[in-house]
A and B are shown apart, each in its own frame.
Chain A
Amino acid sequence: DVKVTQSSRYLVKRTGEKVFLECVQDMDHENMFWYRQDPGLGLRLIYFSYDVKMKEKGDIPEGYSVSREKKERFSLILESASTNQTSMYLCASSDMGLAVYEQYFGPGTRLTVT
């Protein structure tokens, strides 16, 4: 069965802390994505990666960075957490190519920054 896992379901951090959110997929997918989900705004793309060590900014990259050292793992980093980064974070993965491929999502990490 297809699986995308995220390291934590709930996380509470203090303002200014460095935060790591981890995502692992077992489908050998090339593409991986990080979104944040906020009420009334839907999902917004933060960063995505189409290959190991490759990354592209999404729509709201400010305050975030990412790392993809292995194909199956994609990390989201909040260099200095702020309260406006309190949100639900969702990771997804998909195949790459000319066809339209479904994105598979992890269960999400609800991050609270106090």
Chain B
Amino acid sequence: GDSVTQMEGPVTLSEEAFLTINCTYTATGYPSLFWYVQYPGEGLQLLLKATKADDKGSNKGFEATYRKETTSFHLEKGSVQVSDSAVYFCALMFSGGYNKLIFGAGTRLAVHP
């Protein structure tokens, strides 16, 4: 079945370091891809999305490019801040009705000063 695989955490970085969180997917069709972020004590919120191959989603300095050939959607940020400490979830969705999401396991990011 359809699934999403993320790199295991936690990822621990110093402030201003470069961030990559890997995400690959398995799907029978051509899904839309999402990154959601969960800050401590809060629900999930959408960080960015891409709906077709080669699309780049970006928000708050984060970027991810939909790579159909490698079935990947890696999250990157050039310079992380302490406030980026959170759990990041990669997810896929097929359009056409119920907008169901399939999530990866999540990757915890800890950024220290």
Contacts and interface: CB of A to CB of B under 8 A. Distances in A.
Contacts of A56: 98
B45 interface: yes
A90 B4 CA distance: 19
B60 to A, nearest CB: 15
Given A90-B44, A100-B51, A50 B97 contact: yes
Contact residues on B (Cβ < 8 Å of other chain), bracket: 20 to 34
Interface string B78-109: 00000000000100010111111101111000
Contact of A43 (B32, B45, B95, B103): B103
Contacts, number: 63
A94 interface: yes
Interface of A: 4, 31, 33, 40-45, 48, 50, 56, 58, 90, 92, 94-103, 105-108
19 contacts: A4-B43, A42-B89, A42-B105, A45-B101, A50-B98, A90-B43, A90-B44, A92-B44, A94-B99, A96-B98, A98-B95, A100-B93, A102-B49, A103-B44, A103-B46, A105-B44, A105-B45, A107-B43, A108-B43
